[in-house]
Amino acid sequence: MPHNHFKLIKTSNNARAGELYTPHGTVTTPVFMPVGSQATVKTLTPAEIKDTGFDMVLANTYHLYLRPGIEVIEEMGGLHRFMAWDGAMLTDSGGYQVFSLAPLCKISDEGVTFRSHIDGSEHFLTPELAIQYQESLGADVIMVLDECTAYGDSRKKVSQAMDRTHRWAERCLKAQKGKTQALYAIVQGGMFPELRKQSAECLTALDFPGYAIGGLSVGEPKETTFAMVEETAALLPVEKPRYLMGVGSPEDIVEAVARGIDIFDCALPARVARNGALFTSKGRVNIRRAAYRKMDAPIDPDCDCYACRNFTAAYLSHLFRADELLGLRLATVHNLRFIANLVRKIRNSILADTFEDFRRDFLAAYQPTDEKARVEQKGKWLKGREKEG
Amino acid sequence: MPHNHFKLIKTSNNARAGELYTPHGTVTTPVFMPVGSQATVKTLTPAEIKDTGFDMVLANTYHLYLRPGIEVIEEMGGLHRFMAWDGAMLTDSGGYQVFSLAPLCKISDEGVTFRSHIDGSEHFLTPELAIQYQESLGADVIMVLDECTAYGDSRKKVSQAMDRTHRWAERCLKAQKGKTQALYAIVQGGMFPELRKQSAECLTALDFPGYAIGGLSVGEPKETTFAMVEETAALLPVEKPRYLMGVGSPEDIVEAVARGIDIFDCALPARVARNGALFTSKGRVNIRRAAYRKMDAPIDPDCDCYACRNFTAAYLSHLFRADELLGLRLATVHNLRFIANLVRKIRNSILADTFEDFRRDFLAAYQPTDEKARVEQKGKWLKGREKEG
């Protein structure tokens, strides 16, 4: 596993600016990874991902294992070449999708049996296989297989799953053959601070090059999410990168950075874009609203994305009403550009030690989705994060 | 109406190379116009249309009249600005879509009553309104309203529709207020050579800046299509551009150029692309075939399109199997680039007076869709050319 994978450059209260060193280039942190579940960030070319402001993407081992199959991608020279992405990349272990998308999963110490959500075929995933698949895919950062629990699960159930996650983490470490991929552990422990503490202590003792916080944003109130993030991040080694899995709305990124998180991924910005919900400096707006039918101005005059530089809100509104695919593209570019700019501004404010000012001003101006909508949107654990998980 | 709208540069037998002069630039002919029915060439940005090799696009007045409405586009400064396309543009009159897509149409000398295929609302289109709408949209080339007939219609019915088309053409001429848009007439007459002759004579006497051949490729055998094209083209003035409406498969473009056609539009290349049918120098192939799942080479090694320069057939195959929108984009770019390259090669061969050699070699190598598939695909007159018409 790589040494010197991460360098902390500057802190501003608990917020951190750093650099990740990968075989596919240096990535500044905080970093947001667009989600390319099926070896494509939905609707975009690799060049557009770069142009929109991203140096690192996430792909899902579960999806790629089922289709086109790990061996196809291996034969094509790995995932970077297959999807023509020469930037940095992280793959997850497949665990989250097995628990959230696949029916009939059965778990034992050995591994997890699941059925494909595509054709119902039965499969078996172990920590060793999760590493083998991720070595074949060849991402720069790979993840241990963990056991995920749901919001509301009992302390006992969460504790048992956490213990198994720890045993699996050790097996993943042992299974790793290559030397160039950074393998991150995943801290579990549900909504129980003392379990989070146990998990962090157990996993940091194993000296992984990075640590993820898993099992959050699964339906719990936002205060709970951030209380857990704060407690857990404080237990992680300062010199290692911290990755909050599956979180990435604008307001959540700001709040998580404030608590010491470096790395994010989330399908939400692109998914809500495809539903017509667009980020602006004042909050989310829906392009399908009648008000936009004749708006002779970009959706967000402050935005420098390709869509806002070239098209009116009226045109975008038309594309959505006419079910034109270009609408999905432009909305995706817009929301991802918003996130890229947000993360850049966050980093600059950390470097200037003005992050708390930025945080206050941003959250005062930005109208986040209300709690109810958020819970509806993200809370359906076991139905999870749609197909693109 | 513009004078000197077209210049014939060179002929090679009946094939012609020329130039169209428009307020949005000079367009070399033969020219193929990608179809942007709803103010977007499906899946592509304006920059991609240009980069793929096109200087002129077509948009459908019928679709835009219904959605977003002519007045919205007029308020946005016209169709060029609305869709951010600064190249040349042609709009049709809406007639073809009224006859092929809209239910319950009723025709009289005054005009045609139809119902929206979107919401069933009733509308009335006249030659004068067709011109007014097209002046509001502001394309460089606009079309008269014509009455379309079906393959198999009686001589009497075709003759009556043709006479009405002639009366409407005169009314369109009179209705035109602007001076910059080139208004083209449409020769009708079904599959009856003597009616085609009458129609060409009547309309050329009115001295339009360009002439279209309408009412072909509506289900008749291909020999009939090209017999009609040949007869009709021979009756049109040499110094005016000739537009064969709705024809644009690779093999049909070659055959129509051989008979003196200058301008083409067709939704087919992009539509079949979205179904996974891709043009190669050897003919059409379907990316969904199992053979492509592991093909570590571009779909067409001779192709210089963005998709073939960056991705393997295996990746494209994966995108289609996984229902990813990027697949539709890459396939569209590929097929349209094939058409752009074909048209460029045709023009070069005309300029070098080697068109007949090119035609022979191309048709010998290229496996066209068989007649049956072609008839199935295009023959459903009155269900016509899908939504994008």
Cβ–Cβ under 8 Å, residues A147 and A164: yes
> Of residues A140, A252, A265, A300, which has the active-site annotation?
A265
Count of residues for chain B? 389
Q: With beta carbons under 8 A apart, name residues in chain B contacting A296.
A: 75-77
Residue contact B76–A312, C-beta within 8 A: yes
Cβ–Cβ under 8 Å, residues A331 and A273: yes
Residue contact B329–A328, C-beta within 8 A: no
Residue contact B39–A318, C-beta within 8 A: yes
CA angle B197, B199, B204 (to 5 degrees): 95
Residue contact A84–B306, C-beta within 8 A: no
* A383, pLDDT greater than 70: no
- Whether B296 is a known active-site residue: answer no
* pLDDT tens, residue by residue, A296-339: 999 999 999 999 999 999 999 999 999 999 999 999 999 999 99
- Whether B265 is a known active-site residue: answer yes
Cα separation of the two ends of chain A: 27
Handedness of CA A62, A64, A68, A70 (dihedral sign): negative
Q: Which of A318, A319, A324 to mutate to test binding with chain B, by most B CBs within 10 Å of its CB?
A: A318
Q: With beta carbons under 8 A apart, name residues in chain A contacting B293.
A: 68, 72
Asked if A86 has any chain B CB less than 8 Å from its own CB, the reply is no
Separation in Å, CA of B370 to nearest CA in chain A: 30
What single letter denotes the amino acid at residue B129? Answer: L
Handedness of CA B183, B184, B189, B195 (dihedral sign): positive
* Torsion region of A118: left, alpha or beta (phi above 0 gives left; psi -120 to 50 gives alpha): alpha
Separation in Å, CA of A293 to nearest CA in chain B: 8
Q: With beta carbons under 8 A apart, name residues in chain A contacting B44.
A: 326
Burial of B92-116, coded b for 16+ CB within 10 Å and e otherwise, reads bbbbbbbbbbbeebebeeebbbbbb
Fold of B6-267: TIM Barrel (3.20.20)
- Annotate chain B with three-state secondary structure: CCCCCEEEEEEECCEEEEEEEECCEEEEECEEECECCCCCCCCCCHHHHHHHCCCEEEECHHHHHHCCCHHHHHHCCCHHHHHCCCCEEEECCCHHHHHHCCCCCEECCCCEEEECCCCCCEEEECHHHHHHHHHHHCCCEEECCCCCCCCCCCHHHHHHHHHHHHHHHHHHHHHCCCCCCEEEEEECCCCCHHHHHHHHHHHHCCCCCEEEECCCCCCCCHHHHHHHHHHHHHCCCCCCCEEECCCCCHHHHHHHHCCCCCEEECCHHHHHHHCCEEEECCEEEECCCHHHCCCCCCCCCCCCCHHHHHCCHHHHHHHHHCCCHHHHHHHHHHHHHHHHHHHHHHHHHHHCCCHHHHHHHHHHHCECCCHHHHHHHHCCCCCCCCCCC
Residue contact B68–A319, C-beta within 8 A: no
* pLDDT tens, residue by residue, B141-156: 999 999 999 999 999 9
Residue contact A326–B75, C-beta within 8 A: no
What is the ipTM metric for this complex? 0.94
Cβ–Cβ under 8 Å, residues B36 and B59: yes
Q: Reply yes or no on domain A6-266 having CATH 3.20.20.105.
A: yes
Asked if A270 has any chain B CB less than 8 Å from its own CB, the reply is no
Asked if B42 has any chain A CB less than 8 Å from its own CB, the reply is yes
pLDDT in tens, chain B (389 residues): 676 899 999 999 999 999 999 999 999 999 999 999 999 999 999 999 999 999 999 999 999 999 999 999 999 999 999 999 999 999 999 999 998 888 778 999 999 999 999 999 999 999 999 999 999 999 999 999 999 999 999 999 999 999 999 999 999 999 999 889 999 999 999 999 999 999 999 999 999 999 999 999 989 999 999 999 999 999 999 999 999 999 999 999 999 999 999 999 999 999 999 999 999 999 999 999 999 999 999 999 999 999 999 999 999 999 999 999 999 999 999 999 999 999 999 999 999 999 999 999 999 999 876 444 444 444 443 343 333 33
Rounded Cα gap, residues A96 and A384, in angstroms = 9
Handedness of CA B288, B291, B294, B295 (dihedral sign): negative
Asked if B57 has any chain A CB less than 8 Å from its own CB, the reply is no
Q: Which of B38, B72, B321 sits opposite A293 (nearest CB)?
A: B72
* pLDDT tens, residue by residue, B53-99: 999 999 999 999 999 999 999 999 999 999 999 999 999 999 999 98
| Among B128, B136, B139, residue whose Cα is nearest residue B71 | B136
Separation in Å, CA of B272 to nearest CA in chain A: 16
Number of Cβ within 10 Å of residue A306's Cβ equals 18
Rounded Cα gap, residues A383 and A373, in angstroms = 16
Residue contact B72–A294, C-beta within 8 A: yes
Separation in Å, CA of A15 to nearest CA in chain B: 36
Domains of chain A by residue range: 6-266, 272-371
**Which pTM was predicted?**
0.94
Rounded Cα gap, residues B220 and B218, in angstroms = 6
Separation in Å, CA of A31 to nearest CA in chain B: 24
Asked if B332 has any chain A CB less than 8 Å from its own CB, the reply is no
Asked if A296 has any chain B CB less than 8 Å from its own CB, the reply is yes
Cβ–Cβ under 8 Å, residues B23 and B55: no
Asked if A181 has any chain B CB less than 8 Å from its own CB, the reply is no
Residue contact A325–B42, C-beta within 8 A: yes
Asked if A39 has any chain B CB less than 8 Å from its own CB, the reply is yes
